[in-house]
Every structure is written in C-alpha cells, then in structure tokens.
Chain A
Amino acid sequence: MTPRRHPISDRLIEYAAGSLNPERRLVVGAHVRVCPACAGEIAIVEAVGGVLIDALPAVEMHEDALALALARIERPAPPRREPAPGIQGWIDAPAAAVESARRRRRWAAPGVWVAPVIGGPYGRRSYLLGIGPGISVPRHTHLGSELVCVLKGAFEDRGEIYGPGDFCESDEDVEHRPRVTHGGDCVCLVAVDASLVARDWLGRIFQPLVRI
C-alpha cells in the first residue's frame, strides 16, 4: 500500500530542513514513514543539509569541550525506549504520540471522535479525528491551512478519494466538507494553524463540541 497523494515539495523541504512547526511535522512525518517517494525526496534534502553543515565555518567550542564530551560518553546511556507497537489496521504512524492521544479521545458528535495530540501556541494544534462510515464533516473553511494524513480508512473531499497514508493540504481559501464514504470508519491525523470556521448550522453545532 503506497500513498498516492503527497505533500507539495515545500513541505518536504521544510520537513527535511527542520523548519516545520511540531504540529505539522507530525502530520508530514506520518505520511513520509509510509511513502518511499517522499522519503527519497527528504533523503536528498537531508544530504544537502549534510554538505552545507559540513561546509560551515567552524566556531570555537569551549576549551574543555572535548574533555567534557569524552567524560560524558563514559556514562551509561539511558535505556532506549522501545518504539510503541503500531495500531492494528492503521498505517505505521509515529506511534508513541498517536497511541497516547488515542487513549484520550472523546466523542464530539455521533460517529465523530477527537483526540488532541499536540496543542502548540498561537492556536496551532494537531489532533486525531475519527469519523464513522457515511458521516460528513460539516462544511468549513480555515484560518490558515490544514494538513491531513489518513491513518486508517478513506474519505472523499472535492471529488478525490484519500486512502491510507494519503496526504491532503487545504489552505484558507478552501471551503470543504470531507465525507467518509468507503467501507469502515476513517482516522486522520490533522494539523491546523487556527480554528476552523463553520459554514452551516451543523458546523456551528459541531464546532464548540469538537473545539478544533
């Protein structure tokens, strides 16, 4: 299962250069982990980063820096955390953050649950969104952009089907109403810059419940 819908190259460059905020980084990272094409792009950008960092002028370290480093490596390393096992039926997402978020999920509306993953400053946040079969997210637009990676199932948005691992970005000009149509429920990892703006009565009921 290889994703068909990918982030634009700006996102991949930002990901590799380390300039994405943590909320977005999580969502782009979820896609990259299951997408050899994008992982390849990122490998190239990272290789560029390696050459550039290698070519930077050396800045003098503290005079005891090497001695300190040699002392630190003698200390026992903290135990490595085992990567959390993936969730059955989901793509191989960044498991630790996602699994702990899933345990905090709450039902926001019939068939819809939300679980905050990262709540950053300036209204940015990332969250898991679970939607049951046949359910539409109320029509909405965004202040700022919305990044989505499908972890399980599929949804339809603006005539396109997004399946497991697929990535979808909508900016604030887009007013949309994603629908879960295919088979079972759908779980997405979402990052937003700011709150969504409801565009109909259902959305106005939905919005305070979900608080997204």
Chain B
Amino acid sequence: MSTGAGSHSVLTGASVIQAVEYNVTRAMNAVTVSRQGHSVERAPEVRAAKRSPMAISGAQPTAGLPGLSALIVAIAERGDRAAFATLFNHFAPRVKSYMLRLGADGQLAEELAQETMLTVWRRADGFDPARAAASTWIFTIARNLRIDAARRGQRMKHDDPFDETIAPDLPDAILSAAQDETRVASAIGQLPLDQARVIREAFFSDKPHSEIAAELGLPLGTVKSRLRLAMARLRGLLGEAA
C-alpha cells in the first residue's frame, strides 16, 4: 500500500460508514423511548450497596495484561518503537476487526486501524493509566476516528478526535473500576447471556436493531430494555467502591 493513498481511501470509504451510521441511527430512533424518562433526575448519592466478591474468571484472552498500558507509557516517555510495534501487533488487527464489523470495507478498515495506531503514537502523552485501561483508550480513539471518517463523508467540519472527549474529573470509584480491564471483563462475564449479547450488538453490529431483534426472535423494546438492564448491572458491579 502506498502511504500517500491513505487519506484518499478513508474519504472514499466513508460513505459506507455513513450508510451504516444512518441505519443504526434510524433503528435507534425507531425505538420507542420510555415516555416518562426523558430527562432523568439523578440522585447525588452513590449506590452504597455491598458488591459481591468478584469472581476472577480467566476467560478473557488478554484483558488485564498490565504490559499494554506500560507500552503506551514507554512511547510517551521515550518514543519506544519496540513498544509501539508490540502494541501495533496486538491492537491493529483488532481495530481492523472492529471497523469491519461496523461495515467498513477491507481497505477502509485497514486504513482506520493504521490511523488509530498513528494516533496512539502521537497522543501517547495524553494517556493516563490511572484514568483508563489501554484497550479503553484505544477503543475511544478508534471510535472517534470512525465517527470522524463518517463526518468527512458528509462534508462536515473536521474536528480533532479529542476535541469533544475532554471529560470532567470522575469519581474515584469509577476511575479505579474502569481502568481495571480484569474487573470490567469479569463484570461482563457475570452478565446473563442475553444481556451480554445485546451489549455486544450495541458496539459491533452494523445491523438495524429491528434486524437484531428479529434474529433473536424478540420485540424491539425487549432488546432496548435488555441493554438498559445490562448497563444498570455493569454500573452496579463497577460503579461502587472497590
């Protein structure tokens, strides 16, 4: 692949993502949202319920590998190219997989995987291992680049992929939970299978929710309510003090 062709392939392929995004959006909009819940008043107090002891399941292949965060830090601190190569070999094929799942063709998926890893290199100094796991940080970069590619396809203003992700300070309990991949993976592992399935679909399916629902033999509203249940449960597992 010639290096110069990269940005062009992103441009030409963006319409694919745009179409996918439209389908997803249309499906989401078609879903009836609960009438009373449009703006939720959230009680300030944190849930105080005791968390049951977390089962440490080893089901996840690499989640919790502490080395991945250290590799990003090594890039930030000393421009460690070997660390970058290791990260690339692990994440680029998975980012490509993510893009393919969301409807990108092979060339666009490859290009967005490359862009993601280039952004990892250039923005490594902005990675805070106390705030997010390596995989979370790389997921947000990949997600933002995908959104950005879709925007360019719509001739929208190009925004810095980090421009909108500046977040306020987070509660310590959430920080300590969210940056711990093992704990998050374990929490996902504790979800009932039907809830785990809809969570996966929310991230990776390029199908309208109506099709997902049809495949699962479920009403559309059931798919949505499972998603909410799953998130409430993950919040319960992760949002409390460790």
Contact = CB atoms under 8 A, between A and B. Distances in A.
Interface of A: 4-10, 13-14, 17-22, 25-26, 29, 32-37, 39-62, 64-66, 68-73, 77, 80-81, 83, 94, 96-97, 100, 118, 120-122, 144-145, 160, 166-171, 173, 193
Given A21-B25, A49-B203, A58-B93, A96 B159 contact: yes
A35 B172 CA distance: 15
Contact of A47 (B35, B156, B184): B184
A61 B238 CA distance: 34
B21 A21 contact: yes
B159 A169 contact: no
B177 A10 contact: no
B157 A118 contact: yes
Contact of B33 (A13, A21, A171): A171
30 contacts: A6-B39, A6-B40, A8-B33, A9-B40, A10-B33, A19-B25, A35-B168, A36-B169, A40-B174, A45-B231, A47-B179, A49-B139, A50-B135, A50-B139, A51-B63, A54-B62, A56-B94, A61-B93, A61-B113, A62-B1, A65-B88, A69-B118, A70-B84, A73-B118, A73-B122, A122-B22, A160-B39, A168-B38, A171-B33, A173-B35
A32 B170 CA distance: 11
A34 B168 CA distance: 6
A14 B140 CA distance: 13
A169 B39 contact: yes
B175 interface: yes
Contacts of B25: 19-21
B185 interface: yes
Contacts of B181: 47, 50-51, 54
Contact of A13 (B1, B159, B231): B231
A73 B80 CA distance: 11
B235 A41 contact: yes
Contact of A43 (B29, B92, B97, B170): B170
Contacts of A122: 22
Contacts of A55: 60-61, 63, 185
Interface string B126-166: 00000011111111101110110011001011011001101
Interface string B15-26: 000000110110
Nearest to B144: A18
Which DSSP category, helix, strand, loop or mixed, fits chain B's interface?
helix
A167 B200 contact: no
A18 B184 CA distance: 19
Contact of B154 (A17, A25, A33, A120): A120
Given A50-B184, A64-B1, A94 B171 contact: no
Interface string B176-218: 0111010011001000000000011011100000000000000
Q: Most chain-B Cβ atoms within 10 A of its Cβ — which of A4, A51, A58, A193?
A: A51
B42 A6 contact: yes
A190 to B, nearest CB: 14
B227 interface: yes
Contact of B100 (A46, A59, A193): A59
A166 B95 CA distance: 35
A22 B168 contact: no
B160 A10 contact: no
Nearest to A20: B25
Contacts of A32: 167
A53 B24 CA distance: 19
Contact of A59 (B62, B93, B167): B93
B84 A46 contact: no
A36 B170 contact: yes
A145 B28 CA distance: 11
Given A14-B28, A51-B184, A121-B154, A57 B140 contact: no
Nearest to A12: B231
A40 B235 CA distance: 10
B154 A50 contact: no
Contacts of B52: none
